Amino acid sequence: MCWHRGGDYSMQFCVFNANARLSVSGFVQIHVPHPGVARLRQSQACSIGEALTSESLYNNGQAAPWQVSGPFADHTIGKENVGQKMKSTCFLNGLIAAVIGPSLIAACGHDQDSCYGPQNNVEYVRQVKRMQPGAPNATYGPKGPLEWGQINFMHTTDTHGWLEGHLKQPNYGADWGDFVTFTRRMKQTAGNMGVDLLLVDTGDLHDGTGLSDATPEDGVLSMPIFDEVAFDLLTIGNHELYVSEVAYQMFNTWARKWGDRYVTSNVQIRNPATGAFEYVGATHRYFTTDKGLRVMAFGVLFDFTGNSNASRVIKAADMVKEAWFADALHTTQPVDLFVLFGHNAVSPRDKGSTLKTVWDAIRAVHPTTPVSLFGGHSHIRDFAVYDETSVGIEAGRYCETIGWVAMTGFDARNSGYKGIANPRGVPNPARPAKTNATSPFRYARRYLDWNRNTFIYHSHQQPGTYDYHSGSRVTGLITAAREKLRLGDVYGCAPQSWCMECAPFDSPQNLFPGVIVPAVSKIVVQPARADKARIILGNTGSVRYDVPKGPFTYDDNFIVSPFRDVFRYLKDVPYDKAQKLIRQLNNGRADKRSTLVSMAVPQDACTNPTAGHLGRREQHGGPVRRQEVVTPGYVTKDDWGTDGDDTNHTAVPFMRNPGYYEARAGFPAEGSPEVVDVVFYDFIEKYILQYLGSGFNASLVDCYIDCNFTSQDFLLPYAKAVWQDNINDCPIDGI
C-alpha cells in the first residue's frame, strides 16, 4: 500500500518504473500541482501519465530532470484547460478557510499572488494485481454456467464513465480492462462453439465519474478507453446530448470511427459546416452475422427534450412514419432477426419508453419475425416479454451489470443460420418467451455481476490464466488516467456509509439528511449575506450515488454529484412564502437533471446495492464456486420471475425519495425570520418563480456566491471541514 500525502504541492511518492512497474525503495519529494488548480504559472503546469511529466524532481534537495511519456502525455492538465470541470482549489480552500479558519491553508509556490493548493491530501492507492488499485474482488461467484444458444448477446448500458469499476464495492470491482478480456474470451468461446455472440451498448457514456468528467471536455480520456471493447451495435444516450461539445465529439469522432455500428435512428445534429441537421450515426444497420443470420437493427432514444440546440430528437411516433424507416421494413433482403435497441426503458409498460411504438411498427409488417430488444436509461435490471418471439433485457447501470441473452430456434426453413444447432458441453436455452408458445424459439437470460470472479468463472479460466495483454493494457491506461487527474486524492474520511435509497428519507443512514443537507447548509453561503437566514432547495435527482464509509476522494465528488447546476437565489423572500416551496415542489413535477422523470418504478428489490461485504475469499486453482456467504446486492424480479441474477444476493431495501430536498441555515435560535434568502439550482428556477407567484420574476434572480459555483462544489470543502478524523488511516467499510 502506498499513501501519497501533499503539502505546499510537495508530495511524497512511492516511485515506480513506468515500464517494468517495479517499486523503488524510499521516497522522493516532487513538486506537483493539482488538476483542480486554475491559477498556475506556466512553469507549474504538469501532468502524470504512465510516467512522470516534465518538471523538477527533488530528492534530498537535489534537482533531477524527468520527462513525460505514456498515452496521456498530450492531455496535460494545467492552467489553460481546467475550464468548468471543477472550481479552482484556490476558491475551494477559500471556502474552507471561511468555515474552519485559515490555519489549514498554505499558499503554493513563492509568489504572493499564487493560489492556494490542496493541503494534507492523501491519495488512496492500495496496490493489487489487475483491476484498479484499491478495488476489492467479490467474495462470492455465479450460481452456475450460462446457457449458450445459436445467437447470444452481451449487453451494457448507462456506464456513465465507471470504467475504473467500483473501487469500494466488491460486487462490481472489475474495471474496463477486465471486461475487455472477458468480451474477447467470450467471443473466442462463441467461435469455438460454432455460434454467434453480439455485443450491444445502449448509451449514456458520460456524467458519472471523474474519469469521464474531470477533463476540460467530458470523455477526452474515457472514450478511447471505452472504445477498447469491439461492440457490434451502439447507440446514443441523453447524456451525450446535454452539452453541445459532447454531442459534436460523438458526431465528429466516434460516429465516424464506429460507422454503421453506431445506430441513432431518431437523433440528428446540426452540421456546423452546412447548418443542416444530419443523423449522428446510421439510421439503421442491416448485416449478416458470422453464422449467417440476417439482422436489421434500429437504435432509438426516448422522446428526450433536454438536449442542447446542437441536436434534435425525433419522436418515435414520427420516426416510424419516415420514408427511410418504411423502406427498411419493406426491404427485399431477407431479415431473420430484428434488433430493436436504444436508450429507452425496455418494459412496454413504462410510460416514458418508446420502444413499444417502434416494435408495433415492426410487427405491422413482420408479424412473426423474432425481435430482440435492449433497453437502458432507467438504471434497473429488467427483462420484458413482448410476444412469443420478442423479448428484451436491460442491464442496469454504472458497470454493475452485464446482461446476457441466449436464443435458439433458427434453422434452414426460417433463416440463413449456418452454425451449430445446440452448442455442446453447455446448457442451451429451453424456455419459450411465453408459456404454451407455438414458436420454435427458446430463450435464456441472466444478469451478471461486474467482477473478476464472474468473468473468470464464465470464461472457464483460472485467476492466473485469465488476463489477456489487451485487457491488462487497458487497466494500465485507466490507472494512468486516474493518476493524471489525481482522482485518488482523499479530501476526507467518511465515518459511516450513507445510501440514497436503502433507508427512509428522514433516516440518519439516508444520504440527504446525513450528508447533502449538512453540506449545503455549511458550505453554500455567500459571505456578504452569511448573517441572513436562508432556505436551500435542490432536486434529489442531481445526486447520483451513495457515500460508502471510507476515503472520500476527488473522484467521489463526481460520482455523487456529476452535474454542474449553478446555485441561484432570491433575496429577502417573505418566510411565509418561502417555507411552502418544498411542499409545493414535491407535490408538483420532480425534474431531475438527467431527465429521468420517465423512469419506471424499479421492479428490482435493490437498485442501489450498498458497499458492505465480508472479506475476500481465497481462490483455489480455478473458478471455484463456494456458496457459504451471500452478500447484499441485486435481487431482481422481471417478467420471468426472480431467477435471473447470476449471483445470489440478499436484497437491499429500496425507499423512494421525494423529488426535492430542503436545507436551512442562519435561522434564529428561537422563532422564525421575517424574510429569507431562497437558494436553488438554476435547473429548477422556473418552478421557484412559479410557486412564489406575483412579484417574483427572473430579473430578481442572481447567482449565489458566484456564477461558477455549482452543485459539484460543496462536497469537497465539506469533507475537508468535517471528515478529517482518521484521514491518514481511513478504513473502508468491511475491508
What global pTM score does this model have?
Answer: 0.79
- In angstroms, the CA 502 to CA 477 distance is 34
Q: Is 210 helix (H, G, I), strand (E, B) or coil?
A: helix
The answer to whether 157 and 376 have CB atoms below 8 angstroms apart is yes
Tell me if 539 is assigned to some domain: yes
Q: Which pLDDT value is given to residue 632? A: 86
- In angstroms, the CA 221 to CA 215 distance is 7
Residue 49 has pLDDT above 60, yes or no: no
430 and 499 together in one domain: no
Q: How does residue 629 score in pLDDT terms, banded at 50, 70 and 90? A: low
374 and 432 together in one domain: yes
Q: Which residues pair with 390 in a beta bridge?
A: 371, 387
Tell me if 39 is assigned to some domain: no
367 and 425 together in one domain: yes
Segments of 356-484 assigned E as strands: 371-375, 381-387, 390-395, 401-408, 442-449
Residue 204 has pLDDT above 90, yes or no: yes
- In angstroms, the CA 43 to CA 65 distance is 14
Q: Which pLDDT value is given to residue 118? A: 33
Stretch 593-599: mean pLDDT, rounded?
A: 34
Residues with Cβ within 8 Å of 421's Cβ and at least 6 positions away in sequence, in order, are 150, 408, 411
Q: Which pLDDT value is given to residue 168? A: 87
Show which of 468, 483, 498 is a domain's final residue: 483
472 and 512 together in one domain: no
- The number of folded domains in the chain is 2
Tell me if 10 is assigned to some domain: no
List C-alpha distances in Å: 515 to 86, 168, 260, 714.
Answer: 20, 18, 45, 11
Residue 125 has pLDDT above 90, yes or no: no
- Give the tens place of pLDDT for each residue, 342-354: 999 999 999 999 9
State how far Cα 606 lies from the chain centre.
17
The answer to whether 384 and 347 have CB atoms below 8 angstroms apart is yes
Q: Where are the alpha helices (DSSP H) in 681-734?
A: 685-692, 715-722
Helix (H) or strand (E) holding 329: helix 323-329
Tell me if 340 is assigned to some domain: yes
Residue 243 structural domain: 151-483
Residue 148 has pLDDT above 50, yes or no: yes
468 and 509 together in one domain: no
Tell me if 508 is assigned to some domain: yes
Helix (H) or strand (E) holding 294: strand 294-299
163 and 265 together in one domain: yes
Look up residue 566 and give its DSSP letter.
B
Residue 115 has pLDDT above 70, yes or no: no
Pick 615 or 203 by higher pLDDT. Answer: 203
- Give the tens place of pLDDT for each residue, 649-682: 999 889 999 999 999 999 999 999 999 999 999 9
390 and 526 together in one domain: no
Tell me if 614 is assigned to some domain: no
Q: How does residue 731 score in pLDDT terms, banded at 50, 70 and 90? A: confident
Q: How does residue 68 score in pLDDT terms, banded at 50, 70 and 90? A: very low
Stretch 533-554: mean pLDDT, rounded?
A: 95
Q: Which residues pair with 13 in a beta bridge?
A: 28
Look up residue 167 and give its DSSP letter.
T
Q: Which pLDDT value is given to residue 590? A: 56
Q: Which pLDDT value is given to residue 648? A: 94
Show which of 448, 467, 483 is a domain's final residue: 483
Tell me if 557 is assigned to some domain: yes
| CATH code for position 515 | 3.90.780.10
- In angstroms, the CA 716 to CA 93 distance is 10
| CATH code for position 369 | 3.60.21.10
Mean per-residue pLDDT of the chain:
81
The answer to whether 586 and 533 have CB atoms below 8 angstroms apart is no
Q: How does residue 141 score in pLDDT terms, banded at 50, 70 and 90? A: confident
Tell me if 88 is assigned to some domain: no
Residue 81 has pLDDT above 50, yes or no: no
- Give the tens place of pLDDT for each residue, 460-504: 999 999 999 999 999 999 999 999 999 999 999 999 999 999 999
Show which of 436, 465, 483 is a domain's final residue: 483
List C-alpha distances in Å: 272 to 90, 252, 313.
Answer: 37, 11, 17
345 and 239 together in one domain: yes
162 and 289 together in one domain: yes
- In angstroms, the CA 109 to CA 44 distance is 9
Q: Strand 122-125 relative to strand 489-494: parallel, antiparallel, unpaired?
A: antiparallel
Percent of the chain with pLDDT over 90: 73
